[in-house]
């Protein structure tokens, strides 16, 4: 769909981004030592850190990706919310306090605390970089998706805009400014999603999104020609000849039968009324020929109840195939195990002063994140029935939902989504920069650096990572960001969790065991993803049936594999001696 840019939207957006950058520069003066740059001097208040956890964690995947997935596929998007939150239980009850006590700047510090092994530092630094880069891709794709409708700029420009802004935030003040950007973003995101949810409940359910007459059920064809031109129903796409927005209610429940709108509803009454309604969704079929790629969107009337149960996105659940079920189980295991293995989350434990603060900040994080995930259900379902969805872009569901209320809200929500990307990307680049400067250059290569040099190397690494992130963001345009982030969780959980858990629970763990588990877990999960049906279809453009892997999500196999490798290698190598 083509979008009109409004000067108001651009103004609000620019003010938001400028505000965040100003704050970052202002705080920049505080972060010039290594302890300041990498760990914000370990002086962040636990409450601020807790909200910053939410700002760090609620990425484009959580906001744009989950809302889009619920709006397009129903309940299955909410399963991501459930899995993303569940991971925090592992973080709080198992990982938080020990990791705080063991480490100093990076995740490698914690895993290596007992061994002082270059092998561990090297393996963990590489796994940190791989996970951070896989996590960066969806964030940058989300940024590109947002900028097109809001500012009328091409996808690539959005990606570059985020890349430059984030690199500036990180380079100016490291963890101090990153923490405050994440705190502001986390607060704004939860607050405005709360406002949107209140508006959704106030509006209730409305037949045909308040438009007169019956819902238009004619199919629409969107063609992207080989030369890049876009056709709608065979004619060039213009503002007057564009795809119709989709997703609406066609019939309300019996108890509202003589009305066009339910009026305001309570949170549970809203869900119950939707369950009894009939909605219009759309089927999507794709055909490729000499002219280009033709996607036909065919409106389909169906009971909303069909979309309020599992199986809309995870087709294997509905069809009951073994591979489909294993794929789903694997993803949910990776989400559960992945959170506590994400390097950019783990480094946030070094910004507070002690284990009690680490614990308290995690609880604040869980409360804020849990509340937000409840809101995603309403945002997704509200978007599904708002009559304003762009069928070609799942990532735009939440901003377009805001647009169905007002242009100002659209601008505010888009700006928040953009700062969402800024917050998460700055955390990821911080984690990657620490892995390069502190783990690789200083500890693995053994190059002694002064405090000042350590910060400078970190900043150079941050710029390099920013450039890689921009390139990948342009390359992966058009993917659902929630789907993409699933990969990062799989790799993080497979590479890092076995080592982390066994280090805490099994005294016989050796440095060789940890190095082997991290290396094998990372390579196995990465290799599995690259050879999976999803990647064949969506990245290489090859039929998924040719892929050698039985299902696409590796976690179910590669997480246990990491544990097995760790135990076997540890038993084959000399036990660590008591100091």
Partner 1 sequence: MAPTKTRRGGIRDGMSQENQHDPHDPALTPSRLGLGLFAAYVALYGGFMVLVLVRPDLLAMRPFGGVNLAIIAGLGLIGAAVALSAVYMIARSE
From 2, 10, 89, 530, residue interacting with partner 1 (rule: CB under 8 A): 89
Assigned token pair, 453: 């040099």
Nearest-approach distance from CB 99 to partner 1, in angstroms? 10
Assign 3-state DSSP to the chain and report helix, strand, coil percentages, each to 5: 70, 5, 25
- Long-range Cβ pairs for the range 272-276 (8 Å, 24+): 273/204, 273/205, 274/205, 274/304, 274/308, 274/381, 274/385, 275/304, 275/305, 275/308, 276/304, 276/305
> 């892995």: which residue's tokens?
435
Query: What does the block give as tokens for 355?
Result: 């284990």
Least Å from the CB of residue 340 to partner 1:
11
Q: Is 116 in the site for partner 1 (CB under 8 A)?
A: yes
Binding residue for partner 1 (CB under 8 A) from 86, 195, 225, 231?
86
Q: Is 271 in the site for partner 1 (CB under 8 A)?
A: yes
Among 275, 407, 453, 537, binds partner 1 (CB under 8 A): 275
Which member of 154, 245, 292, 370 binds partner 1 (CB under 8 A)? 370
* CA Rg value for the chain: 24
Nearest distance from C-beta of residue 525 to partner 1, angstroms: 20
Distance CA 500, CA 493 (A): 10
What angle do helix axes 118-151 and 451-475 make, rounded to 10 degrees? 50
User: Count of CB atoms within 10 A of residue 133's CB?
Assistant: 17
CB 389 within 8 Å of CB 397: yes
DSSP 215: P
Nearest alpha-carbon partner for 416 in 175, 55, 144, 25:
55
Nearer to partner 1, 88 or 479 (CB): 88
Give 9 or 34: the residue with its C-beta nearer to partner 1. 34
User: Does residue number 560 form part of the binding site for partner 1 (CB under 8 A)?
Assistant: no
Q: Shortest approach of partner 1 to residue 469 CB, angstroms? A: 30
**Nearest to 162, CA basis, from 177, 140, 180, 182:** 140
Question: Whole-number minimum distance, CB 111 to partner 1, in Å?
Answer: 11
Q: Is 49 in the site for partner 1 (CB under 8 A)?
A: no
Burial, 464: exposed, middle or buried (Cβ in 10 Å; 0-12, 13-18, 19+)? Answer: middle
- Among 1, 60, 61, 102, interactor with partner 1 by CB under 8 A: 102
Name beta bridge partners: 220: 297
Of 126, 231, 63, 139, which Cα lies nearest the Cα of 476?
Answer: 139
Q: How far is the CB of 237 from partner 1 (least distance, A)?
A: 38
Q: Is 461 in the site for partner 1 (CB under 8 A)?
A: no
**With binding defined as CB under 8 A, does residue 71 bind partner 1?**
no
Please tell me whether residue 255 binds partner 1 under the rule CB under 8 A.
no
- Does 403 bind partner 1 (CB under 8 A)? Our answer is no
Q: How many chain residues are in contact with partner 1, going by CB under 8 A?
A: 66
Among 104, 294, 315, 456, binds partner 1 (CB under 8 A): 104
Q: CB of 305: closest distance to partner 1 in angstroms?
A: 7
Which chain residues interact with partner 1 by CB under 8 A?
Answer: 42, 75, 78-79, 81-82, 85-86, 88-90, 92-95, 97-98, 101-104, 109, 112-114, 116, 268-269, 271-272, 275, 305, 308-311, 317-318, 325, 328-329, 332, 336, 353-357, 359-360, 362-363, 366-367, 370-371, 373-374, 377, 504-505, 507, 576-579
């Amino acid at each position: 769909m083509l979008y009109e840019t409004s000067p108001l939207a651009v103004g609000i957006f620019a003010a938001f981004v400028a505000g965040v950058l100003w704050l970052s520069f202002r705080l920049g003066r505080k972060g010039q030592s290594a302890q300041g740059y990498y760990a914000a001097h370990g002086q962040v208040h636990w409450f601020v850190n807790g909200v910053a956890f939410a700002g760090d964690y609620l990425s484009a995947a959580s906001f744009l990706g989950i809302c889009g997935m619920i709006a397009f596929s129903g309940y299955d998007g909410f399963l991501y919310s459930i899995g993303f939150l569940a991971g925090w239980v592992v973080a709080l009850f198992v990982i938080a306090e020990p990791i705080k006590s063991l480490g100093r700047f990076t995740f490698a510090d914690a895993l290596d605390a007992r061994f002082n092994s270059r092998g561990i530092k090297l393996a963990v630094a590489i796994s940190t970089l791989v996970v951070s880069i896989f996590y960066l891709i969806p964030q940058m794709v989300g940024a590109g998706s947002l900028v097109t409708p809001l500012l009328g700029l091409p996808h690539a420009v959005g990606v570059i805009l985020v890349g430059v802004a984030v690199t500036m935030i990180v380079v100016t003040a490291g963890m101090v400014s990153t923490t405050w950007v994440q705190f502001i973003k986390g607060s704004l995101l939860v607050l405005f999603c709360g406002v949107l949810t209140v508006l959704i409940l106030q509006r209730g359910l409305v037949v045909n999104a308040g438009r007169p007459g019956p819902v238009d059920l004619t199919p629409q064809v969107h063609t992207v020609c080989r030369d890049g031109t876009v056709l709608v129903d065979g004619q060039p796409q213009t503002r007057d000849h564009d795809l119709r927005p989709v997703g609406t209610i066609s019939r309300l429940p019996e108890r509202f039968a003589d009305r066009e709108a339910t009026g305001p509803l309570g949170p549970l009454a809203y869900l119950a009324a939707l369950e009894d309604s009939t909605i219009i969704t759309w089927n999507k079929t794709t055909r490729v020929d000499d002219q280009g790629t033709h996607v036909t969107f065919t409106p389909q009337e169906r009971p909303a109840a069909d979309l309020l149960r599992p199986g809309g996105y995870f087709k294997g659940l509905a069809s009951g195939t073994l591979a489909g079920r294993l794929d789903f189980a694997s993803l949910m295991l990776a989400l559960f195990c992945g959170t506590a293995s994400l390097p950019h989350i783990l480094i946030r434990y070094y910004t507070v002063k002690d284990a009690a603060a680490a614990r308290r900040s995690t609880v604040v994080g869980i409360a804020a994140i849990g509340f937000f995930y409840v809101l995603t259900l309403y945002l997704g379902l509200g978007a599904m029935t708002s009559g304003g969805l762009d069928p070609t872009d799942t990532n735009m569901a939440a901003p377009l939902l805001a647009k169905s209320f007002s242009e100002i809200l659209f601008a505010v929500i888009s700006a928040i989504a953009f700062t969402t990307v800024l917050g998460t990307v700055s955390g990821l680049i911080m984690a990657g920069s620490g892995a390069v400067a502190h783990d690789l250059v200083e500890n693995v290569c053994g190059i002694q650096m002064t405090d000042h040099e350590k910060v400078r190397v970190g900043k150079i690494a941050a710029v390099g990572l920013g450039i890689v992130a921009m390139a990948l963001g342009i390359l992966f345009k058009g993917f659902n960001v929630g789907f993409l982030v699933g990969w990062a969780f799989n790799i993080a959980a497979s590479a890092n969790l076995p080592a982390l858990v066994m280090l805490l629970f099994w005294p016989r763990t050796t440095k060789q065991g940890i190095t082997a588990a991290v290396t094998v877990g990372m390579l196995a999960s990465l290799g599995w993803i690259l050879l999976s049906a999803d990647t064949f279809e969506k990245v290489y453009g090859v039929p998924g049936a040719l892929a050698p892997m039985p299902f696409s999500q590796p976690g179910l196999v590669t997480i246990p594999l990491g544990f097995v490798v760790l135990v076997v290698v540890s038993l084959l190598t000399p036990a660590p001696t008591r100091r």
